[in-house]
A and B are shown apart, each in its own frame.
Chain A
């Protein structure tokens, strides 16, 4: 019997390279026929997580809709790097109006499609964290509250990158930006932990809310596809490292995003009708130091001396997420934590 020997390469991430798998098991991303909604020629920085996230998300959406997606974009890096006139990297119908109104414009497109009985065409609204959690927040909440048939995707790079790395409502505690310096004694962000829009979206009890990162593109694709199975308002929050703003190496974008999940700092989960239905378990639990150390925006936590208290505070935030979303199998959590997160942990490990 003829056989083919397969050599699997352990990458340290438990991921299997697409080219090592049989044709039908490969990621669509490795296929020559994929749609490439955001095609080459754009001007994103090397290693831009947002460019990667947007391409994967919109391609998945195009597959889910049979190529019938309309995208509405807020002002921000994604808009600017993709479309200086007369060039465009978008291969799907795309509209940019303003910084703070993408959810409402998307709702308008959806209303027009409804009036025209075009329920085959679906709408995606998208923007950066600033456009989403700050200036566009009222429009986003209104769109959720009306349950407009829009999938809104926030590409969260945790600051206003397009204007030169200023603090946004999604900037995490202690992260340094151009505008965190003047506030408080530390160079980093003085405030809480960034506005938690996935949880706020869940409080609107919209059909579907999910988080994802560019470190697990299959999961991102799945979340988009799943979102498109619902009608009504859906929200997807994607963590997209920004080498320029985070001070991370361009080739580390995936690693940084992965560490955000493996530390528990960025919980990856799905929720339906306001309830969490699944969370992606942590596979290699990592302390937050490993995540912080590779980003210059956190350099002041380590130099000249380690700011242990601040790092501990960040660690506590990560631990809280692990408990809250049941990110570790039940037997990994100590007895005390297990009682808090028991119900969920069971669901997730089963």
Chain B
């Protein structure tokens, strides 16, 4: 059924149709609407049997999910930003224990300075936690990915994080096709855990493992993630059959056919990039897009395949909504690994430029993208650049820092320079 619906509510509808048995969460903007909507459904009895737990922290939220999942219940939670970091120890633990928990991350920047707006720093910080990470481009895709996430998680015994851009997707009203509960039931069988806490067949879960087998345990986790590279396309194919639309997957190409310049990005910014690329194509530039839907496991082979091995792609522009401070791009590093993994016989690798953009909610505009991509095509883009960086602001801070060794809190200095007073609570 087509509805004009807030992204968070669309996701709550999808999660509810997946029949989670335990939902636990701790509030943090911009995740709140999802959990509140789910709470209302539990209250209305639309989700029986389901236990909704108000926990005292994100660490507890993930811990409750761990206990519930180990006891054989389908468990769901959602968080963002500081909350994801606060639960980090348990995030790793859930993956180590092989528990198929599904979690929404409503992507938001990490402080300090505290910032409630969107970027990908939170999810990126947990990229090696052992979770599968799926990134949604639209509300529709966020909805669809949640349904796929439970399937993938339970098929592989690996937890799945569905990442959706805070505010841009969680709070935007878009048209979405809401499936019927029957469709979801047909697609997603009940959860049958491989190993469960059961007095009839007692097992010890979470025992200590020493050096003699730890590498093997980790290797198997890696192997299971690698299986996801085969499973995810199969799940998408089945999803398309059941729901009549294509959603998610490993990577999604756009106008790649003859592209010599390819923009790589994740999440909702892909929409803006598509519009920009359409315009630039009108100007005669041969630009295409590679959207990464599955970031963990990293779909190296799919990336290579999408970019071809004939040397047609001369330039890659990686637009990243997170920064590896002191290094640059996070996705870029994985892309380099992927391209290097193609073996010999490949044409020269494309020139790669990393563009850090949209940090802490800064809008990524078509105008800025146009300018940056034109530079890229002209071969003038630096290996690492920051979109719309206010150089004047930084220069003033540099000068201040040179004048006195202690220049005070940087963030406040810059707000003062801009003539802004803090308005954010």
Q: Which residues of A contact B (CB under 8 A)?
A: 67-70, 72-73, 79-80, 83-86, 88, 90-98, 100-101, 104-117, 121, 138-139, 141-142, 145-146, 148
In the complex, what residues of A have CB within 8 A of residue B63's CB? 97-98, 101, 104-105, 107-108, 139
- In the complex, the answer to whether A108 meets B50 with C-beta atoms within 8 Å is no
- B55 CB contacts on chain A under 8 angstroms: 104, 107, 142, 146
B54 A96 Cβ-Cβ under 8 A:
no
B residues contacting A by CB (< 8 A) are: 21-22, 24, 49-51, 53-57, 59-60, 63-73, 75, 89-90, 93, 97, 197-199, 201-210, 213
B60 vs chain A, min Cβ distance (A): 4
Q: 7 tightest A-B contacts by CB?
A: A108-B67, A142-B56, A112-B73, A104-B63, A96-B206, A112-B71, A101-B63
Q: Once the chains bind, are B56 and A139 in contact (CB under 8 Å)?
A: yes
Bound together, the chains give a CA A138 to CA B202 distance in angstroms of 29
**Does the CB pair A85–B213 fall under 8 Å?**
yes
Q: Which residues of A contact B73 (CB under 8 A)?
A: 111-112, 115-116
24 A-B pairs whose Cβ atoms sit less than 8 Å apart in the complex = A69-B199, A83-B204, A90-B202, A92-B202, A93-B201, A95-B204, A96-B206, A96-B207, A97-B67, A105-B64, A108-B22, A108-B68, A108-B69, A108-B75, A109-B71, A111-B73, A112-B68, A112-B73, A115-B73, A116-B73, A138-B60, A139-B56, A142-B55, A145-B56
Using CB atoms, name the residue of chain B closest to A86: B207
The closest CB in chain B to the CB of A121 belongs to: B199
| Interface residue from A93, A100, A111 paired with B202 (Cβ < 8 Å) | A93
Does B66 lie within 8 Å of A93, measured CB to CB? Answer: no
Indicate which residue in B50, B59, B67, B90 contacts A109 across the interface (CB closer than 8 Å).
B67
Contact of A142 among B60, B70, B71 (CB under 8 A): B60
Q: Are A139 and B22 in contact (CB under 8 A)?
A: no
Q: Are B93 and A85 in contact (CB under 8 A)?
A: no
Contacts of A146 in B (CB 8 A): 53-55
Contacts of A148 in B (CB 8 A): 53
Chain B residues within 8 Å of A114, by CB = 49, 51
Excluding A111-B22, A115-B68, 7 further A-B contacts by CB distance (< 8 Å) are A88-B207, A91-B202, A93-B203, A101-B90, A105-B70, A113-B71, A142-B55
B198 and A112: CB pair below 8 A? no
CB distance from A124 to the nearest CB of B (A): 12
Q: Kindly state the separation between the CA atoms of A85 and B204 in the bound complex, as whole angstroms.
A: 9
Chain B residues with CB under 8 Å of A79's CB are 208
| CB neighbours of B21 from chain A (8 A) | 112, 115-116
Q: Which listed residue (A80, A86, A92, A98) contacts B93, Cβ 8 A?
A: A98
Task: Determine if A115 and B60 form an interchain contact, defined as CB atoms under 8 angstroms apart.
Answer: no
Please state if A138 and B56 are interface contacts (CB–CB under 8 Å): yes
Question: From B72, which residue of chain A is reached at the shortest CB distance?
Answer: A112
Chain A contact residues, majority secondary structure: mixed
- Given known contacts A70-B197, A108-B75, A116-B49, is B208 in contact with A80 (CB within 8 Å)? yes
Q: Which of B54, B201, B206, B209 has the most CB of A within 10 A?
A: B206
A88 to B208, CA, bound (A): 10
Find out whether the CB atom of B90 lies under 8 angstroms from the CB atom of A98.
Answer: yes
A145 and B60 alpha carbons, distance in the complex (Å): 13
Which residues does chain B contribute within 8 Å of A107, judged by CB atoms? 53, 55, 60, 63-64, 67
Residues of B within 8 A of A139 (CB): 56-57, 59-60, 63
- Cβ–Cβ contact A83 & B67, under 8 A: no
Task: Output the nearest chain A residue to B214 by Cβ-Cβ distance.
Answer: A85
Once the chains are docked, how many angstroms separate the CA of A83 from the CA of B203?
Answer: 11
User: How far apart are the CA atoms of A106 and B22 in the complex, in Å?
Assistant: 13
A47 to chain B, nearest CB (A): 23
- Residue in B59, B70, B199 whose beta carbon sits within 8 Å of that of A68 in the complex: B199
Of the candidates B59, B75, B213, the one whose C-beta lies within 8 Å of that of A101 is B59
* CB neighbours of B59 from chain A (8 A): 100-101, 104, 138-139
C-alpha gap A136/B66 in the complex (Å): 15
**Nearest chain B CB to A111's CB is how many angstroms away?**
4
Contacts of A70 in B (CB 8 A): 71, 197, 199
Complex Cα spacing A104 to B64, Å: 5
Residue of B nearest to A118 (CB): B71
Chain A neighbourhood of B89, CB < 8 A: 98, 100
Check B67–A111 contact: CB distance below 8 A: yes
Q: Which residues of A contact B213 (CB under 8 A)?
A: 85
* A84 close to B197 (CB less than 8 A): no
Residues of B contacting A72 with CB < 8 Å?
Answer: 67
Interface contact B57-A115, CB-CB below 8 Å? no
Q: Are A94 and B199 in contact (CB under 8 A)?
A: no
What residues of chain A lie closer than 8 Å to B60, measured between beta carbons?
101, 104, 107, 138-139, 142
Query: Which of B55, B66, B197, B210 has most chain A Cβ within 10 Å?
Result: B197
Contacts of A108 in B (CB 8 A): 22, 24, 53, 63-71, 75
Pair B56/A95 contact, Cβ less than 8 Å: no
Taken together as a complex, chains A and B put the C-alpha atoms of A73 and B67 apart, in Å, by 11
Give chain B nearest CB distance to A93 CB in angstroms.
Answer: 4
**Also in contact, A93 and B51, with CB within 8 A (given A98-B93, A115-B21):** no
